[in-house]
Chain A
Amino acid sequence: EAQVTQNPRYLITVTGKKLTVTCSQNMNHEYMSWYRQDPGLGLRQIYYSMNVEVTDKGDVPEGYKVSRKEKRNFPLILESPSPNQTSLYFCASSSFKAGALSNQPQHFGDGTRLSIL
């Protein structure tokens, strides 16, 4: 089944303790992206990646890191989490390619709910 898989689904942790949220897709998509969803704000893009070893900042990148060493994986890293990063996080992938005129449907994971105390 074609899908985007995120882990963990839920995590409660404390300020300053490094954490990684994994994201994996099995559709051979070049494009992957991370969003956070907060009440009243919708989804906002954190980082995106056009292909392996190519990443770029979205609208709210502060406090986050990403890497894209393999096409299928796009982990989100919080080096020193803070309470304002408590949110619902979504990973997405699509067949969009750099230079394409039109966007492509994005396939979303189930989401990861992070609570930073």
Chain B
Amino acid sequence: AQRVTQPEKLLSVFKGAPVELKCNYSYSGSPELFWYVQYSRQRLQLLLRHISRESIKGFTADLNKGETSFHLKKPFAQEEDSAMYYCALSRYGSSNTGKLIFGQGTTLQVKP
């Protein structure tokens, strides 16, 4: 079964501390992984995707196919990073339907 698991509902850290939001997936085909973020009173929006291999707002995520993980990391958390983060998966390949499978979400709280 296709599944995305984010084991932490809430992650609370102090400003300047490193952050790692965990994401594990279960998928039999070739996956494409994403992180979406929802800041307070804003729309859900794409943060980054593994295909791009880029860093956005200091966040990075590496797809580890051996461990089936796509953890989101930032070395030094900022208060403005406080938000709800969703890991999502879709199929990569010609049979892609555009569907995203979301994890349950993790609320990141960065304390001053």
Interface of B is mostly: loop
Question: How many A residues touch the partner, as a band?
Answer: 20 to 34
Report chain A residues within 8 Å CB of B98: 31, 33, 48, 50, 94, 96, 103-104
User: A45-67, CB under 8 A of B: which get 1 and which 0?
Assistant: 10010100000101100000000
Task: Count contacts between A and B, CB distance < 8 Å.
Answer: 68
- Which residue of B4, B6, B94, B96 contacts A103 across the interface (Cβ within 8 Å)? B96
- Residue of A at shortest CB range from B98? A96
Closest Cβ–Cβ distance, residue A113 to chain B (whole Å): 14
Q: A42-B86, A44-B102 are in contact. Are A99 and B4 (CB under 8 A)?
A: no
How many residues in B have their beta carbons less than 8 Å from beta carbons of A? Answer: 26
> Could you list which residues of chain A lie within 8 angstroms of chain B, going by C-beta atoms?
4, 31, 33, 35, 40-45, 48, 50, 56, 58-59, 90, 94, 96, 99-111
